[in-house]
Amino acid sequence: MTVKTSSSDKETRLFRNRLRTKALLNELSLRVGMPFADTFAKWFDQEMITKGLYNRANTAESNRWAGSFKGRTALQNEQLDLLHELFSDAQDLYHNGPSNLWEALWGEPDQLWKLCKTRVDANAHFMDDKSWNEALSKHDNQYDICEALRVFEGEIMLATETDFHDLPFGCFIEAVALYRLHTHAISLFKINSDGIGAYRSLFQCISNGDIKIRLLLLGVYLDIKNELIRMETIKLQSYPDYCEKAGLRYPPSDDAARKYASDPLAIHPNSKRWDDLKFDWVSSDA
């Protein structure tokens, strides 16, 4: 039996593969100090020759990487195999993304909880691998999903209010994962969390200076931001309780939903959220 694939499925797969391609090539080219398609191609050809791996047409002369750098064309398997010859992590970067970005954004729900590190330690994203593994072995699953959402939102608000510009990229990965976990949870049952903070935290992370620069260098900032706005618009139009807690009348129009998704802080400022989260260490005038 042949399974038919809808045109929308094909378009989604193509969109994702183009983003994977663009991010991968920008990541690798920055790593070797060759941030443009032409200079990267020359470097790549020379490295392949030096290592005795090169027996194909010259990629610099054929301008082979140009379309992929700009995200116009997705990498072919042969190109990915070639990159893997020089970069041992090329396959992982392509499929899972830098810092597991694609896994957080498009992976299966059962793969998301491991990306939510703040549930174990508030300083998790500042730890090296050794310290993180030690913390994980002592405090795995310290919080449930509701408390994880609450604590993470508090940490992100505290960081933004103290002008903490060097917010680690891992915070953005966790924000995406928590947001998607909340969406998955409310599709199955009611939970004791309004979920408003999940998207607020995500919006605050992608607006953070260092995280924004990282996404810009990967060439995917606007693509990712638009994808998140699209996801939130669908969420607002799919779940009445969530929509009403967000402050909109259900069902919201496309314009109303997109307006909220483009700036959730306009309706839910930090001052109001501190009151809602009820941390005992926050003063009433925070």
Q: pLDDT by residue (tens digit) across 235-269? A: 999 999 999 999 999 999 999 999 999 999 999 88
Residue 166 or 88, more confident: 88
What is the C-alpha to C-alpha distance for residues 275 and 83, in angstroms, rounded to an integer? 51
E strand or H helix at 168 = none
Tell me what the mean pLDDT of segment 175-179 comes to. 97
Q: How confident is the model at residue 133 (pLDDT cuts 50, 70, 90)?
A: confident
Q: pLDDT by residue (tens digit) across 39-69? A: 998 898 888 888 877 655 577 777 778 888 8
Which pLDDT score, from 0 to 100, does residue 107 have? 95
Which of 47-56, 94-103, 170-179 is predicted least confidently? 47-56
What is the C-alpha to C-alpha distance for residues 95 and 62, in angstroms, rounded to an integer? 26
pLDDT above 90: percentage of residues in the chain: 55
Buried b (16+ CB within 10 A) or exposed e, 101-112: bbbbbbbeeeeb
- Of all residues in the chain, what percent are helix, strand and coil, respectively (each to 5)? 70, 0, 30
What is the C-alpha to C-alpha distance for residues 98 and 25, in angstroms, rounded to an integer? 11
Tell me what the mean pLDDT of segment 83-108 comes to. 95
Q: How confident is the model at residue 225 (pLDDT cuts 50, 70, 90)?
A: very high
pLDDT above 70: percentage of residues in the chain: 92
